[in-house]
Amino acid sequence: MEAMCEVAAQWGADQELEACCEWLERNYNYPRADHPLCTARRPKPPTPTLKEQALAILATAGGPDYPQQLTVLNTDQHILIKRALEALPQ
């Protein structure tokens, strides 16, 4: 029930924001794309830090919990972990 209420509240808030953006466009010729009101009211979630990304990769890899297996990283995972380690203070 709580999840349904959250979805309904989000839908209502999105409808109100959309109406406000339409009003600004109609009355003040604000362009729809990248409207500052939408950006301010619906910010994108922060991207995980390098450390968080590296730990997430390692959490899904094999490793010490599976001593019989070889841990394999793809190139992107390797580069990200390397960048995270290089960002550490010496």
Report helix, strand or coil for 72.
coil
| Statement to judge: residues 9 and 33 lie in one domain | yes
Exposure string for 54-74, b = 16+ CB within 10 A, e = fewer: beebeeeeeeeeeeeeeeeee
34-90 tens-digit pLDDT:
678 888 888 777 788 989 999 898 888 766 666 667 777 889 999 999 999 998 887
35 and 12 in a common domain: yes
Domain that holds residue 73: 50-86
CA distances from 8 to 20, 25, 26, 61 (A): 19, 26, 27, 38
Total number of domains in the chain: 2
What is the reported pLDDT for 11? Answer: 92
Looking at the fold, whether 36 and 60 belong to one and the same domain comes out as no
CA 89-71-64 angle, to 5 degrees, is 80
Secondary structure of residue 63 in the 3-state scheme: coil
